Amino acid sequence: MFAFRLALFVSPVLPTLAVSGLLEPSRTTAERTTHLVCAGGKEIFILDAGDLAKGNARKIWSWTASPETGVPESRTKWFANLDDAKAVNDGKQVLISASNSGVALVDIASRKVTWMATVRNAHTAEMLSGGLIVAASSIGGDELLIFDPKAPTPEIPVFRTPLPSAHGLVWDDDRKTLWALGYDELRAYTITSNDRAQTQLVLSKTHKLPGIGGHDLRAVPKSTGLLISNKEHVYIFDRTKEQFTEHATLGKIEKVKSIDVHPVTGQLVHSLWGQKVTLSNPDSEIKTGSSIVYKARWFTGDFAN
């Protein structure tokens, strides 16, 4: 079991709290703004972190699929049920997915889509080395797909491999490993790529989950831990010791759709699919009005509201 000293989000004198599976956040991170990006319904939106600390949900950016944002009218239905949004490319873009089968890269400054593809019941996507994108096709698709946005046919996958109920993805650049979460497994893949068009995933190890219904997978900043939620619990997986430990703060919460750790303060955010986000250490529940939150991620970049 790990231990870490978790800094409170709003106090200038930072008290500590022991939380299983996390390490102390680095204070050497570049001074860049971290807000919260949320996905749910037909909207991706960013909430201001300062207002979150005051208990308010204030949108400072939003996106919906439309011809104005680079999505042809015939494809807007792909993004009717958005289920994930991750900051990528140094916080300049957001990689999004939707269970209606849309996956796309959205430029923050212009709100324009720069790449999109269709993936059956997409539940998340992840950026790989060199700009390749891997997407998780959940129940009904049950596979991982790799795309090359720079290819002559960027909507056609260059590789695909089965994974039952594929739900979570984390690219581990230190280990050159793709971690993928399925129904009852956490898998580790290496990547072979003599050229981009022949990129493949090679399964290197499989870890049985302590339960079923794997849903979210996130890396804990500055840590060997991976956060995992499934049908009944939230766990930390130690990538070095290859062990699962029930999360000390959120371990007993069922059906967690997303969980994330602030890269500087260490504050936890989780969502259960509804019109609110829940913060821990310090604790608060913030309602988002009519806006639905399926997943919430901390967003760090040179974003100006």
Domains belonging to the chain, first-starting first, are 34-301 (2.130.10.10)
**Judging by beta carbons within 10 Å of its beta carbon (0-12, 13-18, 19+), is residue 80 exposed, middle or buried?**
middle
Nearest to 230 by CA among 253, 205, 249: 253
Distance CA(303)–CA(63), nearest Å, equals 15
Does the pLDDT at position 224 exceed 50? yes
CB within 8 Å of 119: residues ≥ 6 apart: 97, 101, 102, 103, 125, 135, 136, 137, 141, 145
Contacts of 19 (CB under 8 A, 6+ apart): 3, 4, 6, 247, 248, 249, 266, 281
Least confident of 19-23, 64-68, 71-75, 85-89: 19-23
* Average pLDDT for 192-199: 86
Evaluate if residue 153 carries a pLDDT over 70. yes
pLDDT value at residue 80: 96
* 3 has pLDDT over 90: no
pLDDT at 193 (0 to 100): 77
The per-residue pLDDT of the chain, averaged, comes to: 89
Is pLDDT of 8 > 50?
Answer: no
Place 303 in a pLDDT band, splitting at 50, 70 and 90: low
Residue 25 has pLDDT above 80, yes or no: no
- Rounded Cα distance, 99 and 94, in Å: 17
> Of all residues in the chain, what percent carry a pLDDT higher than 90?
85
The tokens of 67 are what?
Answer: 């011809």
pLDDT of residue 254: 94
pLDDT, residue 18, reads 26
d(C-alpha 27, C-alpha 58), whole Å: 26
Q: What is the mean pLDDT of residues 136-165?
A: 97
Residue 2 has pLDDT above 80, yes or no: no
How many C-beta atoms surround the C-beta of residue 302 within 10 A? 12
3-state secondary structure of 74: helix
Write out the H or E segment, with its range, that includes residue 137.
Answer: strand 133-137
Long-range contacts of 248-254 (CB under 8 A, 24+ apart): 248/18, 248/19, 248/20, 248/21, 249/19, 249/20, 249/280, 249/281, 250/280, 251/20
For residues 159-184, average pLDDT: 97
pLDDT given at position 244: 98
pLDDT tens, residue by residue, 250-269: 999 999 999 999 999 999 99
Band of residue 144 on the pLDDT scale cut at 50, 70, 90:
very high
Contact 245, 1 (CB under 8 A): yes
Please give the pLDDT value at position 129. Answer: 86
- Please check whether residue 216 is in contact with residue 237, taking contact to mean a CB–CB distance below 8 angstroms: no
Residue/partner pairs of 71-78 with CB below 8 Å, 24 or more apart: 71/104, 71/113, 71/116, 75/102, 75/116, 78/102, 78/116, 78/118
State the average pLDDT over residues 156-183.
97
* pTM to 2 decimal places: 0.88
Amino acid letter, 35: H
Q: 136 pairs with which residues across the strands?
A: 124, 144
Beta bridge partners of 41: none
Task: State yes or no: pLDDT of 29 exceeds 80.
Answer: no
pLDDT tens digits along 225-242: 999 999 999 999 999 999
Residue 31 has pLDDT above 60, yes or no: no
Band of the pLDDT at 195, cuts 50, 70, 90?
confident
CA-CA distance, 270 to 244, in Å (whole number)?
A: 19
